[in-house]
Structure 1
Amino acid sequence: MSLSPGLYKIHDTDSDRVLTYYASNKIGNGVNCDASYAKWYVKYYPGSMKYGIQVMEYNKYLAVTVDGSIPYGVEEEDASVLELEHQFHDFYLIKLAGTRYYLEHPNIGLDGTIVKFVDKVAFKGCFWRFARISDDTGSILKPKTNNNIPTPLILRPNDILSRGSGSQYPDDAHFHTDILFNMPRNPFTRNQRMATLEWARKLGVANVPTMESFDECERRLEAALGRGNNAT
């Protein structure tokens, strides 16, 4: 269920704190209050199901630092593009679009803690409750293309396989799966392969190959090397 655009208070589900914009240009979870620095416009990017989040008081948008973890406030053109993953009722995960980085509320300070984006497959500390205040979304977001979406350096894909290199692997996911399944001294059996892929999916790992797609990838590799498949 997608979240409807509007004005919200965004609650830390482990306490009564709310997402708060500090005058120091930092974003954390502060004391629950009705101040405009604790209210957020949630709005769609035109033509997509991705979001920008803007604090009401300062009109700053949520973005992350170059190292990819600490959120702070920016103008619209530098805002992070976000995905809101519905969990249940009005609980959502806030994720940097195209990554596995989720906004976490660590709750280690008495008066509130700076929040951060973390690479997680277990989502403890990452659930947020969106309490709707009104339909007001402030200004309308301008469309963003893939070319002008800011992406922190550590979140950029680590493309081991350069495009157009003639590799038999369709992408990095199949490359890493091949390394895992075909370790020189102890190749995985087919049952072990299927169990490993299923376990990765249950952990929420992104881009897990299907057994069929990896079989096809492996057939191409074996044909190129003139060998047969070892998995039984």
Structure 2
Amino acid sequence: MTLSPGTYIIHDTDLDWILSYYTGTDRIGTWQSNGAADQKGWYVKRYPESSMYAIQSIASKKYIPTGLDGTNMRGAEEGDAAVFHLEHQFKDFYLIKSIGTDVYLNHPNVKPNSRDSYYPSSFTKDTPKGCFWRFERISDDAGSSLKPKADNSEPVSSLSVPQPVVDALSSQGSSNLRTDEMHFYTDMLFNMPRTPFIWTQRIAALDWARKLGAPNVPTMESYDEYERRLESALRSKNNTSQNE
């Protein structure tokens, strides 16, 4: 289930404390609910034509940064904001995964010292139960729109969508469907073996293609339609072979 952009209160799933950006000392962590201005919530924003998110504090207008070590971490401007996948678990529970680093926003619930009334948040490589967050939707307001995310690490001129893939995905009723065409596209992006991709990996591949500036990137709906027609063609071929 994809999370719709909007205003959310984000709770940890252990104590039901609230993820907050404490503007007084630039701390990001979880506090008990107290109705303070710092607990107005977060704008959960989605990048255009993407399933990637950034999370902005309503109180400070700062974003969760790419690095978060549990100490007085300052928020980031949009250009330095962490980019997340929100991985749905069940109901309104999600994992908050930082793209490109394979780390998750965690709430270890270990106070830095006995005088502090909050628990610092951090990123962790593992995915323990403590990584779950509950997103309580408040409104449709997601604040200002995000700018498309650019990546200058690779030249975009060398990347294009193979025409056989575009033709196969866009044409209706085509019988010339090959699984290699889809895997060739993902190989080109990631240099990965030609093994079946799960649904979320395919979303990531399409997002990465758009991020690198590839033209005419197909949608997941196109892939789903492609697979339906491929399965239908394979069933038809198998039935023909059995009847011979």
| Normalised TM-score (structure 2) | 0.57
- How far 1:35 moved relative to its partner? 3.1
Supply the distance in 1 between the matched residues of 2:93 and 2:151 (Cα, whole angstroms).
Answer: 28
Supply the distance in 2 between the matched residues of 1:26 and 1:62 (Cα, whole angstroms).
Answer: 10
Match of 1:117 among 123, 130, 133: 123
The aligned counterpart of 1:126 is 131
Which string of whole-angstrom CA distances, capped at 9 and with x for unpartnered residues, describes residues 57-76 of structure 1?
A: 110011133xx645641111
Within 5 Å, which residues of 2 pair with 1:63-82?
Answer: 63-65=65-67, 69-70=69-70, 72-82=74-84
The aligned counterpart of 1:93 is 95
Counterpart residue type for residue 19 of structure 2: L
1:18 maps to 2:18: yes
Which string of whole-angstrom CA distances, capped at 9 and with x for unpartnered residues, describes residues 106-144 of structure 1?
A: 112262211000101x42210000000000011111111
The aligned counterpart of 2:181 is none
- How far 1:172 moved relative to its partner? 9.7
Greater CA deviation, 26-35 or 6-15?
A: 26-35
The aligned counterpart of 1:29 is 30
Give the match's secondary structure for 1:48.
coil
Structure 2 gap ranges (5+): 154-189, 194-244
Supply the distance in 2 between the matched residues of 1:76 and 1:35 (Cα, whole angstroms).
Answer: 24
Give the match's secondary structure for 2:75.
strand
Give the match's secondary structure for 1:94.
strand
Are the aligned partners of 1:69 and 1:118 in contact in 2 as well (CA < 8 Å)? no
Give the match's secondary structure for 1:29.
strand
Are the aligned partners of 2:29 and 2:121 in contact in 1 as well (CA < 8 Å)? yes
The aligned counterpart of 1:6 is 6
Give the match's secondary structure for 1:2.
coil
Counterpart residue type for residue 48 of structure 2: P
Counterpart residue type for residue 10 of structure 1: I
1:83 maps to 2:85: yes
| Normalised TM-score (structure 1) | 0.59
**Cα 1:46–1:108, aligned 2, differ >3 Å: closer, same or farther?**
same
Which string of whole-angstrom CA distances, capped at 9 and with x for unpartnered residues, describes residues 186-210 of structure 1?
A: xxxxxxxxxxxxxxxxxxxxxxxxx
Match of 1:45 among 39, 44, 47: 47
Give the match's secondary structure for 2:130.
coil
**Cα 1:123–1:147, aligned 2, differ >3 Å: closer, same or farther?**
farther
Aligned length in residues: 151
Structure 1 gap ranges (5+): 149-170, 175-232
Counterpart residue type for residue 83 of structure 1: H
Which string of whole-angstrom CA distances, capped at 9 and with x for unpartnered residues, describes residues 130-168 of structure 1?
A: 0000000111111111238xxxxxxxxxxxxxxxxxxxx
Which string of whole-angstrom CA distances, capped at 9 and with x for unpartnered residues, describes residues 19-46 of structure 1?
A: 0101222200111233342200001011
Supply the distance in 2 between the matched residues of 1:32 and 1:119 (Cα, whole angstroms).
Answer: 28
Are the aligned partners of 1:8 and 1:42 in contact in 2 as well (CA < 8 Å)? yes
Within 5 Å, which residues of 2 pair with 1:125-144?
Answer: 125-144=130-149
Overall identity of the aligned pairs, in % = 50
